[in-house]
Amino acid sequence: MKPLSILALSLLAVVSGTFSGRAATSVKNIVLVHGAFADGSSWSKVIPLLQAKGYNVIAVQNPLSSLADDVTATKRAIAQMNGPVILVGHSWAGMVISEAGNDPKVAALVYISALVPKKGQAGADTTKGYPAAPGSAQAKPDAAGYLTLTRKGVDEDFVPELPAAERGIVYATQGPWNSAALAEKVQNPAWRSKPSWLIADANDRMVPPQYEKDTARQIHAKLTILAAGHVPMLSMPDRVAAVIVDAATSSAK
Full set of structural domains in the chain with CATH: 25-117+127-250 (3.40.50.1820)
C-alpha to C-alpha distance for 195 and 219, rounded to whole angstroms: 9
If you average pLDDT over residues 23-43, what whole number do you get? 91
Is pLDDT of 227 > 80?
yes
Residue 82 burial by Cβ neighbours in a 10 Å radius (0-12, 13-18, 19+): exposed
Is pLDDT of 123 > 90?
yes
If you average pLDDT over residues 170-194, what whole number do you get? 97
pLDDT band for position 3 (cuts 50, 70, 90):
very low
Helices 67-80, 93-100: inter-axial angle, 10-degree rounding: 60
Lowest mean pLDDT across 5-14, 79-88, 169-178, 231-240:
5-14
pLDDT reported for residue 98: 98
Is the CB of residue 103 less than 8 Å from the CB of residue 170?
no
CA-to-CA separations, 117 to 68, 98, 137, 141, 232, in angstroms, rounded: 15, 7, 22, 24, 21
pLDDT band for position 25 (cuts 50, 70, 90):
confident
pLDDT reported for residue 23: 40
> Is residue 88 helix, strand or coil?
strand
C-alpha to C-alpha distance for 20 and 1, rounded to whole angstroms: 27
Q: Of the candidates 56, 72, 42, which has an alpha carbon nearest to the alpha carbon of residue 232?
A: 42
Is pLDDT of 81 > 50?
yes
How many Cα atoms are found within 13 Å in the side-chain-facing hemisphere of 202?
6
Give the global pTM: 0.90
If you average pLDDT over residues 23-50, what whole number do you get? 92
pLDDT band for position 20 (cuts 50, 70, 90):
very low
Lowest mean pLDDT across 23-37, 71-85, 137-151, 217-231:
23-37
Q: Which residues contact 123 (CB under 8 A, 6 or more apart)?
A: 67, 92, 95, 115, 117, 181, 182, 183, 184
